[in-house]
Chains A and B, each alone.
Chain A
Amino acid sequence: MPAERLLPSTEAEDLLALTREIARDELAPRADEYEQAERFPREQFRLLGKSGLLGLPYAERWGGGDVPYEVYLQVLEEIASAWMSVGVGLSVHTMSCFALAFYGTDEQRDRWLPDLLGGDLLGAYALSETHAGSDAAALSTRAVRDGDEYVVNGTKAWITHGGKADFYTTMVRTSPAGSKGISCLLVAADTPGLSAATPERKMGMTASTTSQMIFSDARVPTDRLLGEEGAGLRIALDSLASGRLGIAACAVGLAQAALDEAVRYATERTQFGKSIIDFQGVEFLLADMAAAVESSRATYLEAARRKDRGLPFARQASIAKLVATDSAMKVTTDAVQVLGGAGYTKDFPVERYMREAKVPQIFEGTNQIQRMVIAKELRNA
């Protein structure tokens, strides 16, 4: 059964109806083919852009939709439910606009934000490096001022949309002073000296390109510095707190898709003369899956409502990310179990869902890092 939602307005209901229509007609039918061919769904992102879905939670003044996170995240969930790579891509794009939207000057926002939110451009977020993953403050990509340009050297790693994006919100080191020496640059894809490495060969989300981005004497104009020099890590962590809500919503969408497939199969499949959903062993499994999906949804919505009201939400966002992605891993694994041998084949989508569920436990802060964020708040309470 489709997710039952309580939405705050008629416009939100119409927005969700539009999203479901696009998800059902344009995304779901192509997901399997693109994932198998490792083909990047660029044209699908263009359709989302044309429909106004690439700037939803940002201000109308710069072309955003001005919708609350509570609504934006449910849009994201529906898209991820149809196609996880596109859902995560939308979440990453939205996060990559965050630094400019909240730390850029009015002049910078007037100049670039309408293009970022308007639908033609796709964004990427470049924080990690090979030796600086969870320990992001250890990043070493250097940016040295030369007149009105920064000369950037180094390699950013695990970049979603690497080589496909039009702009890269990039954290660089502008001084040696540890976590205070990091700055945020809005780097255009056609910057001389910027190139993408060969894409990673991944376990899942194979239609979404992930690669290293190599900065080799790349020259970035200093007017592309977002926030002050040295504010980069705070901007990065701030972006991630919102980004985590996006990942939680995507994980719920993925788990919902797995649950729907499992229920469909369990209703149709008969053994010992009855549908397997009528065996307690299966119905309890499905009930637990539904409980995991719906409680995860409630958890991310609670965090979103706090954010929408301007309340602190970092702990709730980490809890939502932790709970929703661990749930998605369990639900997708159990969906394979419900489908039995069929579930282990590529003739059904659940094995793909199970592969796709793994990485949300890892990216945008591993679930171990989420526990550290949660525990830190407990300790400081």
Chain B
Amino acid sequence: MTNIVVLVKQVPDTYSERKLAETDHTLDRESADAVLDEINERAVEEALKIKEAGEGEVTVLCVGPDRATDAIRKALSMGADKAIHVSDEALHGSDILATAKVIAAAIGKVEGVDLVIAGNESSDGGAGAVPALLAELLGMPQLTYAHHVSVEGSAIKVDRETADEGITHLEANLPAVVSVTEKINEPRYPSFKGIMAAKKKPVETLTVADLGLDAGEVGLDNAWSTVSEAAPKPPRTAGEKVEDDGDGGTKIAEYLVGQKLI
């Protein structure tokens, strides 16, 4: 039986306009529709596939405000078995170090964890570092940027793919931390039956104190990094027009080379 914890995060929908709060430059979570981050859907899907291939239990773990229950419910309606929701005002504005600490403490609440699966980075205020930090804190091997995962007995094998370096084949003993890329799989849609089942699944809500952490270790005031300034993206410029005098293809290729895109 594989006991899997999947990290999930509620993020502003990429289909809506996203902005930072004017006061403290943290993400303005109220201004946009909030959804389960798509990369987390893939992480949940991968966990469900491992569970369905053998035996297992999938716990989703979410650190986020009260409304993040919507994202948790989505993961449960896809088929996860239960959830832990760490929700505390004190967490507002936490940096990646504090976030990883909180997640590690919450994972400590789950007995006999074999595998932690996360998305490689979130689509909102993301640094792409939490899975690695978490592995360090938990003392587990980290297998990041996975686009293929297989669990064989007490070992895990991962194909790791980054932009420049080709594919690396990684193998580790469980328990381990895996982060997945968007190439890993196509997440399933929940079904209406899954939606109905989700409301009966247990969700444990914890505060920072419940995790045995001090509020002074987390939050914006204790963050090692802050956003000092933010400006909206400048409006798109008109672009460059290429006249095709029979050599349009060459000109486009030259332009792309100039931009180091090819």
Contact = CB atoms under 8 A, between A and B. Distances in A.
Interface of A: 10-11, 14-15, 17-18, 21-22, 47, 50-53, 56, 65, 67
30 contacts: A11-B195, A11-B196, A11-B199, A14-B74, A14-B190, A14-B195, A14-B198, A15-B195, A17-B74, A18-B77, A18-B189, A18-B190, A18-B192, A18-B195, A22-B189, A47-B189, A50-B189, A50-B191, A51-B189, A51-B191, A51-B192, A52-B191, A52-B192, A52-B193, A52-B194, A53-B192, A56-B192, A65-B192, A65-B196, A67-B192
Nearest to B188: A50
Nearest to A60: B196
Contacts of A17: 74
A10 B76 CA distance: 14
Contacts of B85: none
A14 B73 contact: yes
Main secondary structure of the interface of A (DSSP, over half): helix
A37 B191 CA distance: 30
A52 B189 CA distance: 11
- In the complex, the 5 A-B pairs of residues with the closest C-beta atoms, listed nearest first: A52-B192, A52-B191, A14-B195, A51-B191, A65-B192
Nearest to B76: A14
A14 B77 contact: yes
Nearest to B194: A52
Interface residues of B, number: 13
Contacts of B198: 14
A11 B199 CA distance: 8
Interface of B: 73-74, 77, 189-196, 198-199
A18 B193 CA distance: 12
Nearest to A21: B189
Contacts of B194: 52
Contacts of A15: 192, 195
Nearest to B193: A52
A208 B64 CA distance: 45
Contacts of B191: 50-52
Nearest to A119: B191
Nearest to A66: B196
Contacts of A14: 73-74, 77, 190, 195, 198
A56 B196 CA distance: 12
A15 B192 CA distance: 6
Nearest to B196: A11
B12 to A, nearest CB: 15
A22 B187 CA distance: 12
Q: Which of B189, B193, B196 gathers most chain A CB within 10 Å?
A: B189
Contacts of A53: 192
Contacts of B196: 11, 65
A18 to B, nearest CB: 6
A10 B190 contact: no
Nearest to B199: A11
A52 B192 CA distance: 5
A322 to B, nearest CB: 31
Contacts of A56: 192
Contacts of A11: 195-196, 199
A56 B199 CA distance: 18
B124 to A, nearest CB: 19
A317 B189 CA distance: 32
A194 B145 CA distance: 55
Contacts of B73: 10, 14
Contacts of A67: 192
A53 B193 CA distance: 10
Given A14-B198, A51-B189, A52-B194, 6 more contacts: A10-B199, A11-B199, A14-B190, A18-B77, A51-B190, A51-B191
A295 B193 CA distance: 32
B100 to A, nearest CB: 30
B119 to A, nearest CB: 18
Nearest to B190: A18
Contacts of B189: 18, 21-22, 47, 50-51
Contacts of B193: 52
A47 B190 CA distance: 11
A297 B73 CA distance: 28
A112 B77 CA distance: 27
A36 B5 CA distance: 46
Contacts of A47: 189
Q: Which of B73, B74, B195 gathers most chain A CB within 10 Å?
A: B195
A29 B174 CA distance: 42
A21 to B, nearest CB: 7
A51 B78 CA distance: 11
A56 B74 CA distance: 19
Nearest to A13: B70
A21 B33 CA distance: 13
A23 to B, nearest CB: 11
A283 B196 CA distance: 42
A18 B74 CA distance: 9
A9 to B, nearest CB: 9
Nearest to B198: A14
Contacts of A18: 77, 189-190, 192, 195
Nearest to A65: B192
A355 B73 CA distance: 40
Contacts of A50: 189, 191
